[in-house]
Structures are given as C-alpha cells and as structure tokens.
Amino acid sequence: MPLGNLDETLRHQLPQTFDTVGTSDPRFFDRYWFSCYDPSGALTMILGMGLYSNMNVLDGFVACQVPQADGGTTQRNFRYSRALRPNIDHPGVGPLAIEILEPFKRVGIAVEASDQPLELELEWRSFLPPKEEDRHFNRLRGRVTMDYLRYTQVGSMEGSVTLDGKTYQLSHCWGARDHSWGVRPQTAGPEPVTGPAQTELSRQVGSVFYWLPFSCEDFGGHLQIHMLGNGAQTYLDGVIQWPDGSERKVTQANFEVDFHEGTRRWQQVRSHLVDDHNEPYEIVTNQLARDWAMIGTGYDWGWDDRQGLGVYRGEYYTETDSYDLSHPEDVSLSGGEVLQPMHREAPAHGEVNGKALMGHQIVICSGSVPVLGLD
C-alpha cells in the first residue's frame, strides 16, 4: 500500500494508508460538484470531479449552457478521465483541476488551454456554512445499494470563462457546491442482478426527489425531500442558514409544481417551509435556464460508451460534444439520438418571503405521482 501526502497527517481512521478505502465495493466514490450561474442567464455551468479508489479512476466534467439567438439552448459538454494511480494526490484530470484554497471558504477551479474550446479560471467563495445532510442508506435483498454522506454549501463564483472563442467575465455569479462520498448506484458500471426487476412496482408506487440549495441577499438554506407518489414523505432534511453561522432546522415542508404541458419537466415550484422557531418561508422557483442533460456530464450512464461514471477508460481519455435543448423536453445528442432525461434539475431564480433568490432546483418524478397530477 503506497504512501501518499495525506499519510503525513494525523487523520487515519483505518490501519491502512489513504491509498485504500474501507470497502472493496467498486462503487465507492468521493466527488466534488459545483454550479456557476450568471443571474442574467447568459452563461450557466456545472462541473465536477470524482475519485473512485477501487476502480483506479479519477474523472471530471464541465457542462455549459448558452442561449442561442433563435431562442434555443445549446449544452456544451467536456468529459475527462484518467488512471488514478500513481498520481493519486493530484486533484486534476487532463486540463481540469480543483484546489481547496481554504477549507469551506474558497476553492480554485481551472481548465487550462487545450485542443478543446474551453478555458476557465474561477474561484468559489462561501456565503453560508456547509450543510451536512442526513446519511443516505438503503438495502435491496440484503445487499447495501446506497451508503453515502453529502454536504452542500451555497456561495458565489468569480473569474473568467472562454468557451468557443468567446470570453465571459463572471462577477457575483451564484454558486452552490456539494461534496459526497461513499457507495451509491450508477457508479462504476451496471448493478449486479440479484433478483427480478422492480420496474412495474416502482411505476405503480411512484416517487419524487426534491433538492434545493438557495440564497437571497441575507440568508439561504438547503432542503431535500423524498416522497412517494401519494405524497407520503420518506425523508425530510432542511435548514435555514445565515452567514454568521446561525441556523434553524426545517421541521415541515411541502410543495406544488407546475410542469411544462405534457412533460415532467418542472416550470415553477412553490415550496412552503416552517422552521423550528415556527417561522414560515414561502419559496417560489422558476427556471433561469433549461434543465441540465446530465448524461453529458457522465451521470445517467453517460459518456459515449454509456458506462457512466467511474469506469476505467485508459491512462487518459477525453470527450466533448454539444446537445440541442431547444425542445420543451427532448434532448438531441450530437449523433442525432433523441432522449428524455431522467434528471430534472435546473438553474433557478425566484423569491423567498418576497426577497429575490437564486438556487439549483431538482424535482424528479418517477412512476405514478398522483399528488402532483402525474399518472
């Protein structure tokens, strides 16, 4: 077990070097995710980097949305993958690098000039303290399918981005980040077959995943709800936060959704929260830009080989492509394939108790969800 830089610290938790994680599950991951949203909508970005110790992989992505003169939207995708070892201590893959400048305060993000038409230098700065989510855990037929933690933090982005020859100077752009690690599905290839598929049961019962980090001028927060199609909540985790570190726990939450006609793509979400001081919060979110087609980032079994995140693709490998997001729901891939994404998450703007906000709103509805009017 080779030594790395982290082995010089006093933070070991296992009788092993940091080169080894505490499980042999190939799906073990450790991942950064960031958003960068210009309030005008002229440029919106998401980017991330994931380390998969048991797959010997470090991969990353940048996705950008740019409105077109004809009213449509193009999503530009850049994906990078490399062998993790022996350079395990370097948080970079190809031209993409992420550096923690000051823990929970400042992060540097760069994409160096290369043969791809993207170059950027950004700094993320915190506005609110990080919110550690409740642990996510699930079993199926005795096997652990999910066991991970995540913290989410709201801040801002500053810097410059050059995309397809056009440079954008970014100042006071809204930016959220999360950092998650553990074991979860859709990582390191397909799940093993342990029994019959539950597709029909899942369709009949239905489910909803809601996730929203947000902020206004003087406060913000984070809310996550999992519920069944009949409205029964199975997970509620939320907090209202202030920059000085004070916070209040969300004790009650519900929401209503307007969908684009004939689709499951959210158009407006109206959320109603109550905190542990019995203070109410009325939140309205509208789409600032189109939903992200997450397949372009490697999620949802992305990459050209459709193997998804964390799969070994050689010592170094990269891809880039463009998607047409002009249709209300369909996404047209570079090769002409048309699909309807599973993820329904988008840059958001709106109000909280009458104050202007920005955020990242996810509402994913699967199967029958009569509580939101979906069969």
Question: In the chain, what are the domains?
Answer: 28-191+198-372 (2.40.370.10)
Q: For the segment 247-290, what is each residue's pLDDT rounded down to a tens digit?
A: 999 999 999 999 999 999 999 999 999 999 999 999 999 999 99
Instruction: Give dist(CA 374, CA 272) in Å, integer.
Output: 21
Collapse the DSSP code of 295 into the 3-class scheme (helix H, G, I; strand E, B; otherwise coil) and give the result: helix
Residue 177 reports pLDDT greater than 60: yes
N- to C-terminal Cα distance for the chain?
A: 53
Return the pLDDT at 91.
95
Return the pLDDT at 201.
53
* Lowest mean pLDDT across 111-120, 207-216, 339-348: 339-348
Residue 152 reports pLDDT greater than 70: yes
20 close to 4: Cβ distance less than 8 angstroms: no
Percentage of the chain with pLDDT > 90?
A: 85
Residue 200 reports pLDDT greater than 60: no
pTM summary value: 0.95
225 close to 188: Cβ distance less than 8 angstroms: no
59 close to 84: Cβ distance less than 8 angstroms: no
Instruction: Give dist(CA 311, CA 305) in Å, integer.
Output: 10
Q: What angle do CA 106, 361, 172 make, to 5 degrees?
A: 35
Q: For the segment 2-52, what is each residue's pLDDT rounded down to a tens digit?
A: 888 989 999 999 899 988 999 999 999 999 999 999 999 999 999 999 999
Return the pLDDT at 202.
61
Instruction: Give dist(CA 224, CA 354) in Å, integer.
Output: 21
Q: For the segment 291-340, what is each residue's pLDDT rounded down to a tens digit?
A: 999 999 999 999 999 999 999 999 999 999 999 999 888 999 998 899 99
Does an H or E element contain 202, and which? helix 199-205
Residue 237 reports pLDDT greater than 90: yes
Give residue 1's pLDDT band: very low, low, confident or very high (50, 70, 90): low
**Is the bond preceding 67 in cis, omega lying within 30 degrees of 0?**
no
